[in-house]
């Protein structure tokens, strides 16, 4: 970690060349990812024969995409503390290009089945699991400590801009050209991203002088998270939000088809979430107040209320407006929680602790996605989303009252 000192401005992290290469390359990759992610959900739903089967298939898709994060990220976090993080990112994106190429070949040959699709999505999840701890930890290698909060917020802004553009582009591409065009576009994007990352030069990160065994390093990362308050409560908060809140996106497609009457509203719902998340990221980048667990709890409670409002949507306009609020409070909460963790941990253990954060954030969607899909089969999408929102809101109120 480089030195600290006061500096003002929400976009100050962009003054550092290493961060600019990281920011724009990863932002470009995320744009391609969202294009393929939405197209894959359309494709998954199109392989089903009934609405109930579509809900199940999309839930299985989310499990396949996120299960590798749940199982592998603690180990890839160790790798992020021991290996060159830039090369980890490049290796992950190159591997994902191979998987997408295989998917495209099966699709064009007419041999793609739900089994092949889910298997290849597991491959995409594995490449993301390899990249995610290195990506989170690389922000601290690209900026000095004083600009860390700016770097985290700017990354979220880029990610959420692509959450808006990606679903809209995917809806148009899928309707006009089919999913093959989306996957071909992602292959071109990855080639450009690899060239950009080849130009990036990160500061050498601090190495852990402790145990050299893999299990010993994993245990030390878990112990470090438990010892460095508020890392423990933050990880629990992220896990609750992931399983009962973030996982509701697995129901966007059946919600659009069954309650809004047209599956074409699905990318608009995703884009609305992204637009709200973009606004939340901008809001977070401009904040001067010190992050706290109490404030994070208040925002998590508001997130739960927004989910309940979405579940009660009488029509498309209300649903998209509610998703704006869902996205806004989603990212104001996540950025605050991530900042609390990044500020309290040692650089030598950053990859391992951030892998735990990512496991709770994205990895547990592998649990929440199928859980939501199964519950929606019995209760319906609206009641399932409302229940998840009530659980998130209740935990947020608990965190608000408990403080810390």
Average pLDDT for 67-88: 85
Q: d(Cα 368, Cα 250) in Å, to the nearest integer? A: 9
Q: What is the pLDDT of residues 30-46, one digit of tens each?
A: 888 888 888 888 888 88
Q: What is the pLDDT of residues 204-219, one digit of tens each?
A: 776 655 555 666 777 7
Q: Is pLDDT above 90 for 187?
A: yes
Cα atoms found within 13 Å of the Cα of residue 139, Cβ hemisphere only: 27
Q: In the chain, what are the domains?
A: 13-205+213-402 (1.20.1250.20)
The gap between the terminal CA atoms of the chain, to the nearest Å, is 26
The model's pTM is: 0.71
Q: What is the pLDDT of residue 5?
A: 39
Q: d(Cα 294, Cα 175) in Å, to the nearest integer? A: 45
Q: d(Cα 342, Cα 139) in Å, to the nearest integer? A: 10
Q: Is pLDDT above 90 for 49?
A: no
Q: What is the pLDDT of residue 215?
A: 67
Q: d(Cα 139, Cα 145) in Å, to the nearest integer? A: 10
Q: d(Cα 144, Cα 152) in Å, to the nearest integer? A: 12
Q: At what angle do helices 231-244 and 381-402 cross, to 10 degrees?
A: 160
CA distances from 314 to 72, 214, 274, 322, 390 (A): 41, 52, 21, 11, 19
Return the structure tokens found at 383: 């009641």
Q: Is the Cβ–Cβ distance between 114 and 64 less than 8 Å?
A: no
Q: Is pLDDT above 50 for 194?
A: yes
Characterize 375-385 residue by residue with b for buried, 16 or more Cβ atoms within 10 angstroms of its Cβ, and e for exposed. Answer: bbbeebbbebb
Across the chain, mean pLDDT equals: 86
Q: d(Cα 13, Cα 3) in Å, to the nearest integer? A: 14
Return the structure tokens found at 268: 């608009």
Q: What is the pLDDT of residues 296-316, one digit of tens each?
A: 999 999 999 999 999 999 999
């Amino acid at each position: 970690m480089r030195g600290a000192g006061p500096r003002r401005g929400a976009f100050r992290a962009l003054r550092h060349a290493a961060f600019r290469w990281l920011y724009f390359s990863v932002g470009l990759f995320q744009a391609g990812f969202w294009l393929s992610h939405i197209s894959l959900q359309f494709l998954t739903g199109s392989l089903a024969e009934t609405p109930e089967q579509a809900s199940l298939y999309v839930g299985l898709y989310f499990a396949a995409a996120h299960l590798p994060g749940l199982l592998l990220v603690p180990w890839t976090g160790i790798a992020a503390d021991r290996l060159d993080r830039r090369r980890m990112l490049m290796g992950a994106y190159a591997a994902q290009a191979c998987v997408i190429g295989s998917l495209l070949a099966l699709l064009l040959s007419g041999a793609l089945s739900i089994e092949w699709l889910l298997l290849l999505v597991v491959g995409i999840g594995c490449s993301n699991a390899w990249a995610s701890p290195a990506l989170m930890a690389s922000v601290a290698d690209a900026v000095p400590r004083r600009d860390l909060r700016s770097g985290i917020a700017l990354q979220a802004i880029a990610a959420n801009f692509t959450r808006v553009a990606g679903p809209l582009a995917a809806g148009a591409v899928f309707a006009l050209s089919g999913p093959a065009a989306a996957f071909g576009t992602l292959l071109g994007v990855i080639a450009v991203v690899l060239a950009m990352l080849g130009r990036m030069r990160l500061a050498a990160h601090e190495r852990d002088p402790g145990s050299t065994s893999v299990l010993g390093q994993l245990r030390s990362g878990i112990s470090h998270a438990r010892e460095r308050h508020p890392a423990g409560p933050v990880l629990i908060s992220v896990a609750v939000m992931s399983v009962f809140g973030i996982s509701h996106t697995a129901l966007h497609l059946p919600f659009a088809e069954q309650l809004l009457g047209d599956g074409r509203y699905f990318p608009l719902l995703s884009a609305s979430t992204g637009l709200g998340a973009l606004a939340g990221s901008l809001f977070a980048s401009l904040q001067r107040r010190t992050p706290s667990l109490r404030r994070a709890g208040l925002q998590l409670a508001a997130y739960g209320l927004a989910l309940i409002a979405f579940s009660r949507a009488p029509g498309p306009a209300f649903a998209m407006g509610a998703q704006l609020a869902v996205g806004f409070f989603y990212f104001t909460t996540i950025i605050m929680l991530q900042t609390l963790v990044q500020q309290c941990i040692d650089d030598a253990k950053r990859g391992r602790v951030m892998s735990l954060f990512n496991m709770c954030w994205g990895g547990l969607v592998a649990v929440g996605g199928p859980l939501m899909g199964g519950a929606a089969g019995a209760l319906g999408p609206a009641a399932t989303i409302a229940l998840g929102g009530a659980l998130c809101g209740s935990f947020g109120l608990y965190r608000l009252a408990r403080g810390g």
